[in-house]
Amino acid sequence: MFRQLARLHEAHSVPRIPSMRWYVDSSSVAKPVASTINTRLKQDLKTAMRAKEKTRLSVIKGLLSDILYAEKNMATGPKFSRESDADVASVIQRAIKQRHDSVQSYRDGGRDDLASAEEDEIHILGSYLPEQLSSEQIEEHVKEVIERLGASGIKAMGAVMKEVDISPAQAPRSCIAEIAKKLLVGKA
């Protein structure tokens, strides 16, 4: 009986057309371009897994975890986006700062082996940041803003910081604020 049903089904069914994926040459398909830091991290995660690079793998996993935490954290709110390079860069800069503090602590404790491991992680994290501005470039930009606003004194700090249009991906806001404060106090 089952054989009769199978023959009946075969006789009345529509012939199956093989999927087009068998006919597409995979080398001709365009590969997606890594447009954001987050997509680059995910691609490098796969590469590190395949290459069995334990240090790079652990750094990338930790960074992706930090990005996910920042996205879900209520303190950062809905304004954080993993697709925004500026937001992801701020997470990377925070991770680098934590590792710099760890390097200092390890050096003070005489653990140069752990300090060198942290420095390797700093190097890996730094490779995901866009080119950072030097303190001279930041100072030059802040001076232009101060002259344009005619600001003087520490009370003008807020107005100057609002007008400085340096991306957080290029320089930490704390560094910009420190330079602005130094210039405004020296001008007063």
pLDDT value of residue 73: 84
pLDDT digit string, tens, across residues 51-98? 999 999 999 999 999 999 988 887 766 688 888 888 888 899 999 999
> What integer is the mean pLDDT of 20-44?
65
Q: What is the 3-state secondary structure (H, E, C) of 89-151?
A: HHHHHHHHHHHHHHHHHHHHCCCHHHHHHHHHHHHHHHCCCCCCCCHHHHHHHHHHHHHHHCC
**Residues 151 and 103 both lie in one domain:** no
**Residues 107 and 147 both lie in one domain:** no
Predicted TM-score (pTM) of the model is 0.69
Question: Do 63 and 91 form a contact (C-beta atoms < 8 A)?
Answer: yes
DSSP state letter for 156: G
pLDDT value of residue 7: 64
**CATH number of the domain enclosing 162:** 1.10.10
> What integer is the mean pLDDT of 108-132?
93
**Residues 91 and 171 both lie in one domain:** no
Structure tokens at 71: 């996205």
Domain coverage including residue 62:
37-126
Rg (CA), the chain: 26
**Residues 111 and 143 both lie in one domain:** no
Give the Å distances, CA to CA, from 51 to 83, 100, 104, 120, 132.
26, 27, 31, 17, 29
> Would you say residue 18 lies in a domain?
no
Between residues 183 and 34, which one has the greater pLDDT? 183
> Would you say residue 90 lies in a domain?
yes
**Residues 63 and 113 both lie in one domain:** yes
**CATH number of the domain enclosing 77:** 1.10.1510.10
